[in-house]
Amino acid sequence: MKVISNEQAMQILDFSMSTPRSAYEISSSCNIPLTQVYRWVRKLHKLGFVKISGATNEAGKKYFMYKSRVRTIKVTLDAVPGPQLEIL
**Among 17, 65, 13, 63, which residue's Cα sits nearest to residue 40?**
13
**Domain with 20 in it:** 7-87
Q: Residue 44 sits in a domain of what CATH number?
A: 1.10.10.10
Q: ∠ CA(72), CA(53), CA(28), 5° rounding?
A: 70
Each residue of 20-68: pLDDT tens digit? 999 999 999 999 999 999 999 999 999 999 999 998 889 999 999 999 9
* Number of domains comprising the chain: 1
> Is 1 domain-assigned?
no
**Cβ(75)–Cβ(85) below 8 Å:** yes
> Is 20 domain-assigned?
yes
> Is 17 domain-assigned?
yes
User: Residue 12 above 90 pLDDT?
Assistant: yes
Confidence class of residue 79 from pLDDT cuts 50, 70 and 90? low
> Is 70 domain-assigned?
yes
- Read off the pTM: 0.83
Query: What are 63's strand-pairing partners?
Result: 55
> Is 49 domain-assigned?
yes
> Is 2 domain-assigned?
no
Helix locations, the chain, DSSP H: 7-15, 23-30, 34-46
User: Residue 73 above 90 pLDDT?
Assistant: no
